[in-house]
Amino acid sequence: MTEIKVQGVGKATSQPDVAIIHVVVQNTAKDQATARRENNVACEAALAILKKVVKDEDIHAVPARVYPDYNYNGKKPKIVAYQANNTIVAKLRDLEVAQTLVNDLNGIDPEKVQIGRFYFDLDKKDKLEDTARTIAYQDAKRKAALYAGLAGYSGNASSVLNLKLLEESPQYHRGGMMGVMRTAALETVDSCEAEETLEIGDIEVSIKVTACFEADGGI
């Protein structure tokens, strides 16, 4: 028995159907209670905007964490302020309102509320991954049949029998993005007057499989 070990690659693309938004809320205050209260107010403002277009079950929010801010200049560390941090994660299903949502969130208070992460995604990935798996397997089988023929075996692609298969984790590439530059920044000195722009691109998944085939037919 002669084994031929090859790697197949499969890629599949699809349009995204959701957007994932990470809203970061952080602030500093002289005392712990004030830091937490101001963070809660900023979070409520962000949640009010999100809930206009995002369902409650698609929003994940937790209480803010408050940490002391130390000054280490002296011999003994001294608390000079308190910092409150929180992150709200939301899944937006209506992509037509994504641009408006980003603009509204950016308009709350840029010193306290920022969009830490934004990307387009697929809500269900199984179908796209299975398409990539099929292409990867076919690619591996084609290569095995080719190498079998080059080595002098009489068997064709249909007679190359699969023995072992190892799949690597799916790798995703998202073409869509939130513009890091603000549109009006190219025309004005004050970039704060500009708005962030969104670009929706295809979602691509790539899957690699390593397969071991048996060359059939003999030399």
Residue 1 has pLDDT above 80, yes or no: no
Residues 116 and 22 in one domain: yes
111-163, pLDDT tens digit by residue?
999 999 999 999 999 999 999 999 999 999 999 888 888 888 765 555 556 66
Residue at 219 is within a domain:
no
5-24, pLDDT tens digit by residue?
899 999 999 999 999 999 99
Residue at 54 is within a domain:
yes
Q: What is the pLDDT at residue 177?
A: 59
Residue 170 has pLDDT above 60, yes or no: yes
Residues 26 and 53 in one domain: yes
CA distance 4 to 92: 47
Residues 48 and 61 in one domain: yes
Residues 33 and 51 in one domain: yes
Residues 115 and 134 in one domain: no
Q: What is the pLDDT at residue 186?
A: 36
Question: Would the pTM count as exceeding 0.85?
Answer: no
Residue at 69 is within a domain:
yes
- Tokens representing 217 are 């037919």
Residues 129 and 98 in one domain: no
Residues 78 and 131 in one domain: no
CA distance 82 to 114: 19
Q: Which domain holds residue 101?
A: 18-121
Q: Check which CATH number belongs to the domain holding 173 and give it.
A: 3.30.110
Cβ 195 vs Cβ 175: under 8 Å: no
Query: Smallest Cα–Cα separation from 211: which of 137, 106, 142?
Result: 137
